[in-house]
Amino acid sequence: MTHFMPQAASLDAAYARCRELHRAHGRSYYLATRLLPAWKRRHVHALYGVTRCTDDIVDGGGGAETARGGPGRARQLEAWASRFYAAVDGAQVPAEPILLAARHTIATFGLSRADFDAFFASMRMDLQVRAYADYGALLEYMEGSPALIGTVMRPILLAPDAGPGPVPAAAAAVAREPARQLGLAFQLTNFIRDVAEDLDRGRVYLPAADLDSFGVRRDDLAAPPASPAVRALIAFEIERARAHYRRALPGLAALPARSRRCVRLAYAVYGGILDRIEQADCDVLAGRAVVPRRQRAAAVVRELARSA
């Protein structure tokens, strides 16, 4: 990997832009990052910036072209991917703040290019695939979707809280699968919550085999309030997501203290979305489930008290 030394002021401004983007659009994730040491926090913001900018291309604008994965959006995605790889691989310092911060983060932690290849492959699928036959097919997508962020963030979270340093090989090995499971849990939580929103974009992420099992038609997902069959389907998917959350728990012990409390908070707040959906009798068509601010604040207080 090419090493580079951007001016400190430029780099600080780039990370600040990533933080602003994260704070504006990733409330649950952003809240959890506040518990990380400052030196780790900015690297998480940089990775979020890459995924957010990519999502904005894939999802933005609405309309028929987006729903069908029109050529304009595909060209934008390829152009963005090309600029990303040029920033990561090239000798020239990128002008775009998000790419400057991402390049520095990737270089600092030696993050795998293959993980980003998988991410962009899944984002291309979002422009081409409108449904998934079964959970295996959806898992294939999620392995490279923003769920990948759990795996990519692993080197950052495992690093010593005090500052950059070596990560014990045993801890890295133990944490890999739990990090993957937590990424899958977060992504599946999004799919459950955003059924109506995704359908507006022409996509159904819940597997077709599951819809068939519960007697749910695609059109039923566009007809609020949710029918008993749709509610039963959502309850089934919630338990599947919770199974991923449970499989993620063993990885907590491998993390340094402040990374551990960050992940515990994200686990509690993001998992709380599933609780809110259940409190609404699994009707995800009537409105978007949101964890109230007071509940998020209480989770922070509990985590800080637990740490103390």
Q: Which residue has the tokens 């926090």?
A: 41
Predicted pLDDT of residue 62 = 39
pLDDT exceeds cutoff 70 at 298: yes
pLDDT value, residue 7: 64
216-224: which pairs have CB atoms within 8 A and are 24 or more residues apart? 218/131, 221/195, 221/196, 221/285, 222/196, 222/285, 223/285, 224/196, 224/283, 224/285, 224/286
Tokens 């103390």 found at: 308
State residue 235's pLDDT score.
Answer: 98
Using the predicted structure, report yes or no on whether residue 158 has a pLDDT greater than 70.
yes
Q: What are phi and psi of 131, to 5 degrees?
A: -160, 160
- pLDDT band at 202; cut points 50, 70, 90: very high
Residue 272 has pLDDT above 70, yes or no: yes
| pLDDT above 70: residue 8 | no
pLDDT range class, residue 64, cuts 50, 70, 90: very low
Q: Is the separation of the CB atoms in 253 and 155 below 8 Å?
A: no
Average of per-residue pLDDT values in the chain: 90
